[in-house]
Structure 1
Amino acid sequence: MVVAEEQQKALAADFYWADGQEPHLSRRREILTTHPEIKELFGPDIWAFPKIVAVVLLQLWTAYCLKDASLSTMFIVAYFFGSFLNHNLFLAIHELSHNLAFSTPIYNRLLGIFANLPVGVPMSVTFQKYHLDHHLYQGVEGMDMDIPSYAEGRLIRNIYTKILWVLFQLFFYALRPLFLNPKDPGFWEVANFAIQLFADFTWIYIYGWKSFMYFILSTFVGGGLHPIAGHFISEHYVFQKGQETYSYYGPLNLLAWSVGYHNEHHDFPRIPGSKLWRVKEIAPEYYEGLASYRSWTQVIYMYITDASVGPFSRMMRKSHFGPEKKSK
């Protein structure tokens, strides 16, 4: 109880409000002026397609092998193996949302729907719609759905509720946009939904519910209290006041499409994850002075135990700092 009371006193009651634009646009311009050769890194990753196909097939094969397994075996395999595969596919969908597998957008969208299959829940097209807003309106009130809601900030006030929030953060991440900034579904969103449901029910009909539950377990345990899910917190939660985006330079980048290079990604969203390390290598003077991480597990631990950090630990800015006003 003492810990809970101390956290309630220390946790902020509102977001950190910024009085200017997000930092990436100005840094991008400055880096391109200083290092114009970085433009050579722009464009699709030719290895994205075979990598995605390999992970999808491996996950399908694993689910097939587990069709008669016990629930305990399924959970263990899902946590220590399938979670990494499905999270890899989630982050592959992130790459595809930036059209980083093919130059033609429709091919990226189709590949995203394919990559979505072992995830079990339709999300590829919807993710792209809201994720691009996150880049265009980083931190802008009512537009950036990566930022927790006021309800989350008011409810998650101590170490115990923070543990629950981390466990179920994928639900918050997925459902938040539908409540705070709902958008009418388009053709591709409906197609994603229909194809995913058809694939799910076909798999259940052929291999049974237990095999299908492996997909769901892999998705949601890998999005909760799991090392690879630490990127959700590490990317933009403010642990050092004044810095709103953080990079991670640890080994899990190998399984996570280098999403850990997050400052570099926001600075240059047209560069595929496989080449983001080159940005830091070419322009180290812009990144070496920024706070960064080496462990996503440590980030989760810090978030839960740090009495001053919670859902409100994000940079927020008013709507007039978004691109609509900026272009006038």
Structure 2
Amino acid sequence: MVVADLQATLASDFYWADAQEPHLSRRREILTAHPEIKNLFGPDLWAFPKIVAVVLLQFWTAYCLKDAKWGAILAVAYFFGSFLNHNLFLAIHELSHNLAFSTPLYNRLLGIFANLPVGVPMSVTFQKYHLDHHLYQGVEGMDMDIPSYTEGRLIRNTLMKTLWVLLQLFFYALRPLFLNPKNPGLWEATNSLVQISGDVAWIYMFGWRSFGYLILSTFVGGGLHPIAGHFISEHYVFQKGQETYSYYGPLNLLAWSVGFHNEHHDFPRIPGSKLWKVKEIAPEYYEGLACYRSWTQVIYMYIMDSTVGPFSRMMRKSQFSTEKKSK
């Protein structure tokens, strides 16, 4: 479990790093010591059937709730649908690294399909910004995973942090559009057209309550919800000097093992289903790092710890970007 080792009060700026992010150098060291890890690179053959199964299950659930009361819809969305839609969100994360098929086109098409129960088009845009997060981890103006200065200055107490966590999916989605907008292309248009057409068709056939379940599953699952703890656990600094943290708890089974986050950043070409093998093969590189066993506890610590907030991230100037890093 991570032990807080920070200043006594909430920081007023980011933690500025004077060195490159740690994953590129650690990857080189691990591959030198354990070259057999390269055998783990490549697509997960089970990704396609797993995604199809979750999409069909979520649509079936939405259909079953088409005549339900809103209270029941909200309850099912929070305790069940949220896990399915978050699973699809993290499937899209896998697909952004081309980890279902060797051909990027097939991954992109599957991502658009996986996007359907989420309710809002995000698959193609997510890939653009997420790959920047790997290429430019912590780099000012490039890594849109890092909160803005406005967020850091406004989110200064327990109440504001609670609201921020509740709405963190909105901040996560909208932040790039304000700080680093990218011109949409043909694939964004395709993603939007397919998604909006699918939404309209679903509403026409099964009604607003059924569609409302899908939307609620997305947004309640991205806020004050155990599985959304990974947004905070991955890179918020709870132990000074460490900027990436892994989670080794049971929710990895529903989250494409995104909790193995140090391992993922070290080896983004290894699918989530095999990341545990990285730690097994090279334990000497991971056992000394702070880690988590509970995403729920991470959310609680973030809200209640007066030393932690949106500024609790490592930031670096652009000269530390690593453009030649593997995607």
Shorter chain as denominator, the TM-score bin is over 0.9
- In the alignment, is residue 37 of structure 1 matched against residue 29 of structure 2? no
Instruction: Extract structure 1 runs of 4+ deviating beyond 2 A.
Output: 323-326
Residues 163-190 of structure 1: CA distance to partner in whole angstroms, max 9, x if unpaired? Answer: 0000000000000000000000011111
- When normalised by structure 2's length, the TM-score is 0.96
Structure 2 match to 1:12: 11
Amino acid at match of 1:123: M
2:67 is matched with 68
User: 1:298 maps to which residue?
Assistant: 297
Q: 1:82-140 CA distances to partner (integer Å, 9 max, x unpaired)? A: 00000000000000000000000000000000000000000000000000000000000
Aligned to 1:153, what secondary structure does the other structure show?
helix
For residues 75 and 211 of structure 2, what CA distance do their matches in structure 1 show?
A: 15
Distance in 2 (CA, whole Å) between partners of 1:180 and 1:205 is: 36
Give the equivalent residue in structure 1 for 2:224. 225
Counterpart position of 1:6: none
Q: Distance in 2 between matches of 1:325 and 1:198?
A: 38
Tell me the residue number matched to 1:96.
95
1:10 shift after superposition = 1.2
1:325 Cα deviation after fit: 9.7
Secondary structure at the counterpart of residue 240 of structure 1:
coil
* Equivalent position of 1:319 in the other structure: 318
SS at structure 1 position matched to 2:287 = coil
For residue 193 of structure 1, give the secondary structure of its aligned residue in structure 2: helix
Question: 2: distance between equivalents of 1:261 and 1:177?
Answer: 25
Q: Residue 319 of structure 2: SS of its match in structure 1?
A: helix
User: Partner of 1:147 in structure 2?
Assistant: 146
Distance 1:287 1:320 in 2: 27
SS at match of 1:138: coil
> What letter matches 2:42 in structure 1?
G
Q: Which residue of 2 aligns with 1:105?
A: 104
Q: TM-score, normalised by structure 1?
A: 0.96
- Could you tell me how far apart the structure 2 residues matched to 1:249 and 1:186 are? 38
Give the letter for the 1:169 counterpart: Q
Give the distance between the partners of 2:284 and 2:322, measured in 1 at CA.
27
| Matched letter for residue 106 of structure 1 | L
Distance 1:174 1:19 in 2: 29
Length, aligned pairs only: 319
Please tell me whether the aligned partners of residues 124 and 191 of structure 2 are also in contact (alpha carbons under 8 angstroms): yes
- 2:323 and 2:283 map into 1 onto residues whose CA distance is 32
Counterpart secondary structure, 1:280: helix
* Structure 2 CA distance for aligned equivalents of residues 256 and 117 of structure 1: 18
State the secondary structure of the residue aligned to 2:84.
helix
Identity rate, percent = 85
Match of 1:175? Answer: 174
2:216 alignment partner, SS class: helix
Contact preservation (8 Å) 2:248, 2:292: yes
Summarize deviations over 1:178-204 as a string: whole Å, max 9, x none: 000000001111100010000000000
Unpaired runs of 5+ in structure 1?
1-8
Partner Cα separation in structure 1 for residue 323 and residue 50 of structure 2: 37
Q: Which amino acid aligns with 1:192?
A: N
- 1:36 aligned partner, one-letter code: P
Structure 2 distance, partners of 1:299, 1:49, is 31
Q: Supply the AA of the counterpart residue of 1:23.
A: P
- RMSD of the TM alignment (CA)? 1.2
Q: Give the C-alpha shift of residue 323 in structure 1.
A: 2.2
Q: What's 2:120 paired with?
A: 121
The aligned runs of 1:229-240 (5 Å cut-off) are 229-240=228-239
Give the secondary structure class of the aligned counterpart of 1:307: coil
CA deviations on 1:228-272 (whole Å, 9 max, x unpaired) are 000000000000000000000000000000000000000000000
Cα distance in structure 1, aligned partners of 2:97 and 2:30:
20
Give the Cα separation in 2 of the matches to 1:276 and 1:224.
26
